[in-house]
């Protein structure tokens, strides 16, 4: 090989390195449809990452559930077809049960409590997930879920007499419903609209934006004012894949997606408030539990949490830490 050929070869290699021959595309699945606030913010974060890493890191999203349910997504991550996903807590519980902590029943009384606790618990959740093989790039507020039903649900006996839906694979919800003496009907989210129309189910739990987005409000008439639990969405990627990025590129990905999810938190909170007002405008009647019912529900929910601990769905240490943060906040008020 002559000198000129060696120089040309060196230049080619240098150019390839400089222009991102070692670039990595993170392939991420999500149930969120294209065009939603969730997707818009994640796409914006992805574009910032591409620009700041000079194209070395790109995020490719597969929206609208085209990659299947959580089980399918995890299987595709294991074989390398995907590198991550946007999950509900139930979709990540197999990785670490700490993810369930923010969604325990009748835990929070206000969004101010949520903000105080999340500031302290989000890092705990992220550390637990990373220790078990997934890097959490963002946690987004879904808001409070409430009972949405065909008949007013003011007491436990009425709820027990209704056909209550539960998402497939919702272990936390199953324990709670069993404690409440309710035999729920498990269906995938995609079947709920038809189930409400046909009478297969009569009562669901959902946040306000979901009630409108899925059009479930069109087959119901009442929503309870009491928030039952708080829901989140989580963007997580395989740690083995993430660790192949340079340290500086990892920092960029964490920073930009963290900023995107902070924006989503605010947007989702605003959207839920607007959705509440829209539900009222469209004829949904908000009802309060009968006197003494909330305390009854709270007592049963507390017992259900102890059952969850006993069944290994969440650790006693995490529940104690969570309750400690809540009590600290309430003591300050």
Which pTM was predicted? 0.87
Q: Give the mean pLDDT of 43-61.
A: 97
Cβ atoms of residues 276 and 66 within 8 Å:
no
pLDDT tens digits, residue range 62-77? 998 899 888 899 999 9
| Confidence category of residue 2, pLDDT binned at 50, 70, 90 | low
pLDDT at position 166 is: 94
> Is 230 a residue whose pLDDT tops 70?
yes
| Two structure tokens written together for 196 | 């409400």
State percent of the chain over pLDDT 70.
93
Cβ atoms of residues 166 and 185 within 8 Å:
yes
| Confidence category of residue 143, pLDDT binned at 50, 70, 90 | very high
| Confidence category of residue 293, pLDDT binned at 50, 70, 90 | very high
| Confidence category of residue 36, pLDDT binned at 50, 70, 90 | confident
pLDDT at position 1 is: 54
Distances (CA, A) of 246 to 110, 155, 193, 204, 243: 41, 56, 45, 45, 7
Nearest to 218 by CA among 144, 153, 283: 283
User: Rounded distance, CA 290 to CA 295, Å?
Assistant: 10
| Lowest-pLDDT choice from 42-51, 88-97, 251-260, 291-300 | 88-97
Write down the mean pLDDT value for the chain: 91
| Lowest-pLDDT choice from 13-22, 159-168, 251-260 | 13-22
Residue ranges and CATH numbers for the domains of the chain are: 3-332 (3.40.190.170)
Give the 3-state DSSP-derived string for the chain, with helices as H, strands as E and coil as C: CCHHHHHHHHHHHHHHHHCCCCCEEEEEECCCCCCCHHHHHHHHHHHHHHHHCCCCEEEEEECCCCCCCHHHHHHHHHCCCCCEEEECHHHHCCCCHHHHHHHCCCCCCCHHHHHHHHHHHHHHHHHHHHHCCEEEEEEEEEEEEEEEECCCCCCHHHHHCCCEEEECCCHHHHHHHHHHCCCCEEECHHHHHHHHHHCCCCEEEECHHHHHHCCHHHHCCEEECCCCEEEEEEEEEEHHHHCCCCHHHHHHHHHHHHHHHHHHHHHHHHHHHHHHHHHHHCCCEEECCCCCHHHHHHHHHHHHHHHHHHCCCCCHHHHHHHHHHHHHHHHHC
pLDDT at position 26 is: 97
C-alpha 84 chain-centroid distance: 14
């Amino acid at each position: 090989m002559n000198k000129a050929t060696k120089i040309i070869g060196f230049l080619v290699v240098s150019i390839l390195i400089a222009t991102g021959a070692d670039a990595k595309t993170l392939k991420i699945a999500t149930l969120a449809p294209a065009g939603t606030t969730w997707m818009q913010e994640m796409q914006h974060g992805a574009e910032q990452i591409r620009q700041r890493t000079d194209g070395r890191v790109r995020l490719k999203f597969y929206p609208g559930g085209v990659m299947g349910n959580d089980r399918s997504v995890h299987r595709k991550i294991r074989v390398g077809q995907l590198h991550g996903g946007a999950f509900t807590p139930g979709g990540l519980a197999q990785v670490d049960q700490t993810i369930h902590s923010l969604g325990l029943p009748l835990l929070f009384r206000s969004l101010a409590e949520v903000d105080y606790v999340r500031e302290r618990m989000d890092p705990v959740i992220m550390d637990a997930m990373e220790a078990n093989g997934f890097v959490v790039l963002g946690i987004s507020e879904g808001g409070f879920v409430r009972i949405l039903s065909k008949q007013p649900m003011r007491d436990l006996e009425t709820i027990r007499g209704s056909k209550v839906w539960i998402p497939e694979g919702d272990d936390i919800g199953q324990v709670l419903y069993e404690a409440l003496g309710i035999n729920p009907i498990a269906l995938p989210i995609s079947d709920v609209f038809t189930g409400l129309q046909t009478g297969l189910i009569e009562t669901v739990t959902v946040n306000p934006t979901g009630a409108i987005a899925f059009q479930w409000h069109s087959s119901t008439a009442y929503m309870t004012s009491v928030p039952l639990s708080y829901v989140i969405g989580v963007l997580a990627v395989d740690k083995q894949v993430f660790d192949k990025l340079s340290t500086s590129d990892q920092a960029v990905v964490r920073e930009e997606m963290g900023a995107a999810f902070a924006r989503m938190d605010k947007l989702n909170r605003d959207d839920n408030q607007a959705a509440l007002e829209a539900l009222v405008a469209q004829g949904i009647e908000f009802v309060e539990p009968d006197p003494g019912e909330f305390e009854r529900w709270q007592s049963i929910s507390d017992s259900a949490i102890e059952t969850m601990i006993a069944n290994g769905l969440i650790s006693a240490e995490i529940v104690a830490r969570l309750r400690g943060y809540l009590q600290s906040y309430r003591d300050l008020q």
